[in-house]
Amino acid sequence: MKKRIYLSILFFFLTISGFSQLVRKDMNVPDIPGYTTLKCDFHIHTVFSDGNVWPTVRVEEAWLLGYDAISITDHLEYQPHKKYIPIQHNASYEIAKPHGDRQDMIVIQGSEITRVMPPGHLNAIFIHDATSIETERIKHMHAAETHRHDYLDSIDQRHQDYLLAIEEAFNQGGFIFWNHPGWAAQAPEGIKIYDVHKDLIKKGWLKGIEVANWNSWYPEAFQWCLDYGLTMLSNSDIHQTEGIYEKSSKVAKRPVTLVFVAEKSVEGIHDALENARTAVWFNEKVIGKEEFLQPLFTRSIDISDSFFKDSKHNRFYNLKNNSDFLFILKRVDSETQIELLPQTTAILSVEPNRNEITFEVENFLVEPNKSLSVKLLFD
């Protein structure tokens, strides 16, 4: 009898765990020649700075949405929960990493170095000890029992010790990028790049910029990435739960940094970021260098054989989008526009004696004011 009770209890728990199995929605994005395309978010907060979520939840949220890799980048300098949660700069990584391992989610260690503009906020990822990036001055500030961000800002104007933090992050092998350069709180007169940033770029310490953050994207930052050969990033900077982010940011899609890796690993992602092999996926837009956007388009689209010819000898083709990208295609030699939604097929008629048609993919940007141009071939 006892045994039967044990068995039914066991069965009960098995059933419960069976019901709680989560299912991930994959993001369908093609690989490009020579590289696998990973979907990443390198700017995320938890309760270990000013976020309101435990680190393991960040792994689960990202997994459910189809991301391959995340970096949790809690502020080193801003710890509003410190009355209840001790300051432990490595904690979010230490908690999230083993959870990520169980879910095939790459978790990269990171921190946000938080200063007034310039240089503003910088993320350092692929570091191995966040605690030693915190400077002595910031340690004193934490000890001074202030929770106010503006206190940090006002003392920062007198002490430019951010260089110590950046140098330490760089010496740890960190990849450092500039966050939300157009954030209104730090760019009240509009977005601009400072000499401080140019010096950091010259030194080889600053290697990327967020072209998209939260619910904004910055055309100027896109241009700077092209001009200075920097890596383009698109990150959520999420502080609340995923559900609240979705409602409050009003973006159709949480930002994604597309990373083109030779190998799916922490090292593979690091190599891709160091070599600027990324693109920005933000809302309906994909932003990046032509060499990456062109194959993303080509490998997303299938053109069928002609399945019909009308009385005027126009041939009809299926144009199928196998990806989760939207493609707004505008024919350059006419007013024809096709809005090819994710995972849909459009029918295209091609005039007699025509073998190719050039389209602008209006929502794929290779420069701030220039769309990707694609040539479709028909037999």
For binding to Zn ion (CB under 5 A), which residues are involved?
112, 121, 179, 237
Tokens 């559900």 appear where?
243
The torsion angles phi and psi of 334, rounded to 5 degrees, stand at: -160, -175
Min CB(74)–Zn ion separation in Å: 8
Residue nearer to Zn ion on the CB measure, 244 or 332? 244
E strands present in the chain: 36-44, 69-75, 106-114, 121-125, 175-178, 206-213, 216-217, 231-235, 256-261, 278-282, 285-287, 301-303, 308-309, 315-321, 327-331, 337-340, 345-350, 356-367, 370-377
Min CB(346)–Zn ion separation in Å: 39
Q: What angle do CA 169, 61, 72 make, to 5 degrees?
A: 10
Min CB(92)–Zn ion separation in Å: 12
Min CB(38)–Zn ion separation in Å: 21
Residue nearer to Zn ion on the CB measure, 55 or 268? 55
Q: Other CB atoms closer than 10 Å to residue 7's CB: what's the count?
A: 10
Q: Which two tokens stand for residue 88?
A: 């432990």
- 40 closest CA partner among 273, 338, 321: 273
Residue nearer to Zn ion on the CB measure, 257 or 323? 257
Residue nearer to Zn ion on the CB measure, 196 or 226? 196
Say which DSSP state 30 is in. -
Min CB(288)–Zn ion separation in Å: 22
Residue nearer to Zn ion on the CB measure, 112 or 284? 112
Residue nearer to Zn ion on the CB measure, 179 or 323? 179
Min CB(123)–Zn ion separation in Å: 7
Residue nearer to Zn ion on the CB measure, 69 or 340? 69
* Helical residues (DSSP H) of 144-216, grouped into ranges: 149-156, 162-171, 195-203
Min CB(7)–Zn ion separation in Å: 50
Cβ-proximal residue to Zn ion, closest one: 121
Report the Cα–Cα distance between both ends of the chain, in Å, rounded: 75
Residues 6 or more apart whose CB falls under 8 angstroms from that of 91 comprise 48, 55
Min CB(239)–Zn ion separation in Å: 8
- Asked if 61 and 240 count as a contact pair (C-beta separation under 8 A), the reply is no
Residue nearer to Zn ion on the CB measure, 45 or 277? 45
**Rounded Cα–Cα distance for residues 326 and 363 (Å):** 8
Residue nearer to Zn ion on the CB measure, 121 or 270? 121
Min CB(254)–Zn ion separation in Å: 14
**Rounded Cα–Cα distance for residues 169 and 142 (Å):** 20
Q: Which two tokens stand for residue 129?
A: 């000890």
